[in-house]
Amino acid sequence: MSEFSTPKLDKTRVSKVPKTPINIPPSPFMKKLGFGTGVSVFRWDRSPRPDATRSPWALKKLDKRDLPRVFEQRLAKEAELLKSLKHPNIVGFRACVPGKDGRMTLAMESCESSLADRIEDRKNDEMGPLSSEVILKVALGVARGLDYLHREKKLLHGDMKSYNILIKGDYDEIKICDFGVSMALLPDGLAAAPDNFVGTSVWSAPEVVGLSDGPVSSKVDIFAFGLVLWEMIALEIPHTDDLAESNFDISITEDDLENRIGTRPALPPVDLDDSYNSIMEIFYCCTEQDPSVRPTAQLLVEWLEDLTGEKPLGEGDDEMLVDH
């Protein structure tokens, strides 16, 4: 893997109010890529300039002007965080500006799809689990991104899931996105404000939902990382795989689902060849109930580089990130 080098970006692209106005088109004129609580994400295919083509951007916009203040604060916080992150496995920041409707808009590097989209397509096509080669490639990209967040930036992502992993090409680039609920980590890896943790329930670690006495720490992301591996095999959202298959004579209640959250989901009844053995070992290690025995992101990177034969980042030819 070649070395990643951060370019010097034009200041108009990293300020909240660029000197050169960015005219964000109205939402109906853009393709909707996804949505979250209070926000939607759109693809903006920017018009080419006379001297160059321009890459598309992904725009995260508040859904309504009158949303509670916390939603705007969360988007502003995400913009500030994303602006400070420079890594090939983290989605790139482009700008944060008000749209024509006055709502704040976070502009980011656009990827073709999320991992969740790829999983859903594969399920719909009845193709079975992602190949072991693809799973290892995705796992390495995500682990590298988490290692950068945990060790260098002292940051807990806090909402790891397939929806927040973006894919370019034939799994050529793997990028973590959505830092709206991320929180600072102390030097020892513990969350600085554990009571403020907000994540997505079915990807929650035992310590988050009270099933373990362990503290909220970087190991929360590791548990969710393990569930992402499970997603790529089961082609389902964790803990919900048998809900859709239940017939009308069986009632799966909210209490049933609540009792599963924070546990290791059972593997689906699929035949996996020996190439998946290492993946399953990592899955089990990452989803241990005791966070202290889960691996660190750094250790995951070492394991996965060994399994895939990939060189550590920084070895090889220089590679520049070009922002068009």
| Residues with catalytic function | 159
**Under DSSP, is residue 175 helix (H, G, I), strand (E, B) or coil?**
strand
* C-alpha span between 227 and 159 (Å, rounded): 12
**Amino acid at position 282, single letter:** I
H or E element: which one contains 226?
Answer: helix 219-234
* C-alpha span between 1 and 162 (Å, rounded): 23
Query: For residue 91, is it left (φ>0), alpha (ψ between -120 and 50) or beta?
Result: beta
Give every CB contact of residue 34 below 8 A, 6+ residues apart in sequence: 40, 41, 114, 163
Query: What does the DSSP 8-state code read for residue 79?
Result: H
Query: What does the DSSP 8-state code read for residue 37?
Result: T
C-alpha distances out from residue 142 to 58, 77, 164, 277, 303, Å: 20, 22, 10, 19, 13
Token duo for residue 85: 């992150």
Token duo for residue 211: 């099933």
Give every CB contact of residue 167 below 8 A, 6+ residues apart in sequence: 111, 112, 113, 114, 115, 117, 118, 138, 173, 174, 175
**Under DSSP, is residue 26 helix (H, G, I), strand (E, B) or coil?**
coil
Report strand pairing: 113-114 vs 3-5. unpaired
